[in-house]
Structure 1
């Protein structure tokens, strides 16, 4: 893999992370919560309609999650645009460490909360988000 391809893939990673943000933002209002509710239902298979967004605390948590995901996605994009050329290996390691940290905590929490199916879905997201960043680029 070349550094140029890694730099491109960092933008893919940013989009993967940030793409969840608008969905959870929509979950903050009852009138637009269906995409977030469906996403939670999908991530906690089977699709059974058990997940709801009726509670204000759920909508507030959705706002927090959306904000964190949007900020994290923007940060990865900015690392690729403004920092990568100066420190490609440090940026790669930073993003891989961040994604792996998300994976471990999110998957552990999913299992602990009775939603083990999300841990399996997280494996797919992990492989897409990290992609070729697993290995250092060739100069």
Structure 2
């Protein structure tokens, strides 16, 4: 399976980031993994790394509830970025919140999906199949 050029993890919980990073490393999905603790840091990373399109994350795993800038505010700011800094990223929101208000709000967004935490091998496999036409190597 070809590796994804870059993945961006956005979560305010360092333990969640560590566990997700370990999972993605074990699955050998990418050689370039960026990590942000909130939406504002994520926007800065995109502005920094998306000068060349090949350096842009093709997958963004985004927490909903974060301080400074939450997932919804990130998506608003992301939509304001130049197209070269947004494309061709697939955004998947990860959350522990299944509050109907959040679910309804996510359904109105143009994102790749909404998954309940924790991130698992099976969920990653589904993302790869659905959005990248790839399957995990056994």
TM-score by length of 2: 0.27
| More RCO (CA 8 Å, sep 6+) | 1
Structure with the higher strand share, 1 or 2: 2
TM-score by length of 1: 0.27
Larger radius of gyration: 1
Structure with the higher helix share, 1 or 2: 1
